[in-house]
Chain A
Amino acid sequence: MLHQLEGSQAIAKAVALCRPGMVCAYPITPQTHIVEHLGELIHAEELWNCDYVNVESEMAAISVTIGSQAAGVRSYTATSSQGLLYMQEGVYNASGLELPMVMTLGNRAIGSPINIWNDHSDAMSVRDAGWIMLFPETNQEAADLHIQAFKIAETLQCPVMVCVDGFVLTHAYERVDIPSPEMVDDFLPHYEPRFCLDAANPLAIGTMVPPEYFMEVRYLAHKKQLGALKIIEQVGKDFYKKFDRHSGGLIRTYKTEEAKTIIVAMGSVLGTIKDTVDELNAQGEKYGVVSVVSYRPFPAEALRAALAHAQHVVVVEKALAVGTGGILFQELELPLKNIVRKISSIIAGLGGRAITKSMLKYALKQDEREIFLGLDQNVVAEKIQLVKSCCCK
């Protein structure tokens, strides 16, 4: 059924349709509206047989979720930015324990300097944590990917993080189709844990693993992630069959067939990029777009296939590895080596800096390997001068 919904509400409704037995989170902007709405749904008994635990920190939020999932209940949490950093030990723990929980990450910059606005620094900080990480482009896809996330998590016995752009998606109102409970129940059956804490069948979960076995454990985690590529694609296809809507999958292409230059990006910025490409192509240019939906596992092969014919690949990303550069850019460089002649990096939108069509058009005309979109050199120079003149005396 169609609704005019805030992104957070759409996500909350989708999560509720998945019938979790545990929702546990700690307040942090811009994730809060999601769990506020879930709390409302639980108290109104629209979501029943589900506990909502108000905790004292993100560390507790992920820990409660770990506990409930290990005891055999479908569990959900949400966080952003500093919250993700604060719970990071638990993030690694959840994937190590193979607990199929789902988390929404309301993407936000990491401080210092403190900044509540959107970029992908938080998600990038856990890119090696063993979670599946999906980046929706719209509110509709954000809602849909949560339904898929539980399915993927439980099929693989691996936690899934849905990385939703803070404010741009979480706080924006859009038309969203929320499926019926019956259809979601049919798509996502009742959760049957493969293992859990059970008095009839005592099991020790989370034992210490010595060097003789640790390598194998990590290797298996790696194989599982690689195997997830197939599952994610399949779940996307199954979702289309059931709900008649394309959401998820590994990557999506837009006007790439004829394109000479292809832009690669993740999340909500793709809307602006596609508009930009449409305008440029109307003037006779040949641009295309590839959306990375599944960032972890990284769909290197699918990307290679989609980008092989391009003369130039431009990676637009809302994150920066200080000291090395664009993260998605670096991850694409290797798979495209000797295939694509030229690949360049645009770092954009850090800390919520606006990304506009005109800025993108301007940047696409530059012949530089690395561009910081909309960087104000005057502010940079001023800051350098200020630091030089600083003195504690």
Chain B
Amino acid sequence: MTTLTIGNRLDDKDAAEQSKYNRYNGITSGHRACQGCGEALAARCVVDVAHRVTGGNIAVVNATGCLEVFSCVYPENSWRIPWLHSLFGNAAAVATGVASAFVISGKKDMRVIAQGGDGSTSDIGLGCLSGMFDRNDDVLYVCYDNQAYMNTGVQRSSATPILARTATTLPVRGYMGNAAGTGKNVPQIAMAHEIPYVATASICNIRDLEEKISKAILLKGSRYVHVHVPCPLGWGYPPSETVRIARMAVECGLFPLFEAENGVVVGSTPIDNPKPVEEYLRAQRRFAHLFGKNAPPEIIETIQQIASRNLEKYRLSGEFSHE
């Protein structure tokens, strides 16, 4: 039985695509992402592994947002794949058109990825995304979720976690940040459409992300992968901590890693010893007010309960484990 120790990564079969000397580098260096950008890291993993698995037969449709803005300011361009940016709220529909055109023009091997941030996915583009799911169009949609509108200066999106501080949910006396009981769970919305494949992933687990993308890119019909990508600027932590912050979110249960097929959860990544959410929250300035002298003591418990519910809901204690 193999174990995933460092040594095995020398074995090409088990190595992450990103660890390979000949990875495609679908997004070349020199782009304008912030230091420690989780989205840049995730997008490169997605594009490189999809490029490998499809033999280079991919095209990407990008929504407006950080990823689009930092990667292609004319005359510079980081993308080494066919890439199209149309608008903020229409990436899913544009991708539908692209996928259809490849079929009509006989390019049957071409696979299409649509990608965007949480704003273009959960808010302005949700109508187009739901339409794409409804028709089961042959597109893999990847959402890079950094939980707010980072490109415009950290405003609240419907993916912003409760009690988080953003520029439009600034905590003031009597108001503790983003209201509780709000927000959308897009992976669950995707599952409600009973599309062939839905998964969540995190940049703290690149092999898992790559595995899910490798699987999803070859499936037919609508597929949705939601990737948790911490943002040093918006969340308030040092750029060197991005991967650690992502791991803390997963290990406390706030960002469960799971897969669903045709609307049913079929597997999740178990957490051996769930960490308290406090550790994750304390590491970020967007939650600093929760630990100030005006904060109600029970407030952390509210968030802890969300994590605990996730542990149960996605059976993160290990029943799904395939091993």
| Chain A residues with a Cβ under 8 A of chain B | 21-22, 24, 49-51, 53-57, 59-60, 63-73, 75, 89-90, 93, 97, 197-199, 201-210, 213
B115-134 residues with Cβ-Cβ distance < 8 A to A are: 127-128, 130-131, 134
| B25, CB-defined interface residue at 8 Å | no
Task: Please tell me which one of the listed residues B87, B100, B107 contacts residue A93 in the complex, with CB atoms under 8 A apart.
Answer: B87
Q: Which residues of B contact A21 (CB under 8 A)?
A: 101, 104-105
CA distance A252 to B138 in the complex (A): 47
- Most B-side CB within 10 Å, residue of A22, A24, A73: A73
Nearest CB in chain B to that of A51: its residue:
B100
User: Judging by beta carbons under 8 Å apart, are B128 and A205 in contact?
Assistant: no
Interface residue from A64, A93, A199, A204 paired with B97 (Cβ < 8 Å): A64
Checking B74, B95, B104 against A49 with a beta-carbon cut-off of 8 angstroms, the contacting residue is: B104
Residues of B close to A55: CB separation below 8 A: 93, 131
Task: Name the CB-closest residue of A to B80.
Answer: A202
Q: How far is the CA of A75 from the CA of B135 in the complex (A)?
A: 19
Of the listed stretches B56-64, B160-168, B284-292, name the one at the interface; the rest are far from the partner chain: B56-64
A109 to B124, CA, bound (A): 27
**Which of B82, B99, B103 is the most central at the interface, judged by chain A CB atoms within 10 Å of its CB?**
B82
Residues of A within 8 Å of B254, CB to CB, are none
Task: Report Cα–Cα, A286/B68, bound state, in Å.
Answer: 61
Alpha-carbon separation in the docked complex, A199 to B55 (Å)? 10
A97 to B90, CA, bound (A): 15
B72 within 8 Å of A (CB atoms) = yes
**Is A207's CB under 8 angstroms from B72's CB?**
yes
Q: How far is the CA of A69 from the CA of B104 in the complex (A)?
A: 11
What CA separation (Å) do A213 and B73 show in the bound complex? 10
CA A90 to CA B74, docked complex, whole Å: 21
Contacts of B134 in A (CB 8 A): 56
CA distance A59 to B125 in the complex (A): 10
Size bin of chain B's contact surface: 35 or more
Which chain B residue lies CB-closest to A56? B131
Q: B: which residues have CB within 8 A of A?
A: 56-59, 61, 68-69, 72-75, 77, 79-87, 89-90, 93-105, 107, 110, 127-128, 130-131, 134-135
Which 4 A-B pairs rank lowest in CB-CB distance, beginning with the nearest?
A: A67-B97, A71-B101, A63-B93, A206-B85
A210 surroundings in chain B (CB, below 8 A): 73-74
Q: Which residue of A lies closest to B85 (CB)?
A: A206
Q: Chain B contacts of A69 at CB under 8 A?
A: 97, 101
Residues on the B chain within 8 Å of A73, using CB = 100-101, 104-105
Complex CA–CA separation, A60 to B128 (angstroms): 6
Contacting pair A71 B74 (CB below 8 A): no
Complex-state Cα separation, A97 to B61, whole angstroms: 14
- Report chain A residues within 8 Å CB of B59: 71, 197, 199
How distant is B126 from chain A, measured CB to nearest CB, in Å? 11
Closest to B128 in A: A60
Given A55-B93, A56-B134, A65-B97, A198 and B82 contact (CB-CB distance below 8 Å): yes
**Complex alpha-carbon distance, A7 and B225, angstroms:** 45
Please report the C-alpha to C-alpha distance between residue A201 and residue B95 in the assembled complex, in whole angstroms.
19
A-B contacts, 22 listed (Cβ < 8 Å)? A22-B104, A24-B97, A55-B93, A57-B128, A59-B89, A60-B128, A63-B93, A63-B128, A64-B93, A64-B97, A64-B100, A67-B97, A68-B101, A69-B97, A70-B84, A75-B101, A90-B90, A199-B57, A199-B59, A201-B82, A206-B84, A209-B74
17 extra A-B contacts, CB within 8 A, seeds A63-B86, A71-B101, A205-B85: A51-B100, A51-B104, A59-B89, A64-B97, A66-B86, A67-B96, A67-B100, A68-B97, A68-B98, A71-B97, A72-B105, A75-B101, A199-B81, A202-B79, A208-B69, A208-B72, A210-B73
B81, closest chain A residue (CB): A202
Residues of A within 8 A of B97 (CB): 22, 24, 53, 63-71, 75
| A67 and B127 form a contact (CB under 8 A) | no
B61 to chain A, nearest CB (A): 7
- Whether B131 pairs with A205 at a CB distance below 8 angstroms is no
Is A60 within 8 A of B104, CB to CB?
no
Cα of A208 to Cα of B134 in the assembled complex, Å: 31
CB contacts (< 8 Å) of A24 on chain B: these are 97
Is B74 in contact with A208, judged by CB distance below 8 angstroms?
A: yes
Are B86 and A97 interface neighbours, CB within 8 A? yes
Residues of A within 8 A of B56 (CB): 199
Q: Contacts A21-B105, A49-B104, A66-B97 known; A197 to B82 CB distance under 8 Å? A: yes
Q: A149: shortest Cβ distance to chain B, in Å?
A: 19
Q: Which residues of B contact A89 (CB under 8 A)?
A: 87, 89
CA–CA, A65 to B84, complex, Å?
13
Within the complex, the shortest CB–CB distance from B167 to chain A, in Å, comes to: 22
CA distance A75 to B89 in the complex (A): 21
Q: Are B82 and A202 in contact (CB under 8 A)?
A: yes
Taking a contact as CB atoms under 8 Å apart, the answer to whether B82 and A63 are in contact is no
Q: Which of B72, B93, B102 has the most CB of A within 10 A?
A: B93
Complex Cα distance A24/B73, Å? 31
Q: A63-B93, A63-B128 are in contact. Are A90 and B83 (CB under 8 A)?
A: no
The one of A22, A67, A75, A204 that contacts B83, using a Cβ cutoff of 8 Å: A204
Q: Which residues of A contact B95 (CB under 8 A)?
A: 67
Q: Contacts A71-B59, A75-B97, A213-B75: A53 and B90 contacting too (C-beta < 8 A)?
A: no
Smallest CB separation, A220 vs chain B (Å): 13
* CB atoms of A54 and B85 under 8 A apart: no
What's the least CB distance linking A56 to chain B, in Å? Answer: 4
How long is the Cα–Cα vector from A209 to B83 in the complex, in angstroms? 16
Least distance between B46 CB and chain A CB atoms (Å): 16
* Interface residue from B58, B100, B105, B131 paired with A199 (Cβ < 8 Å): B58
Chain A residues contacting B86 (CB-CB under 8 Å) are 63, 66-67, 70, 90, 93, 97, 206
**Cα separation A55 to B96 with both chains bound (whole Å):** 10
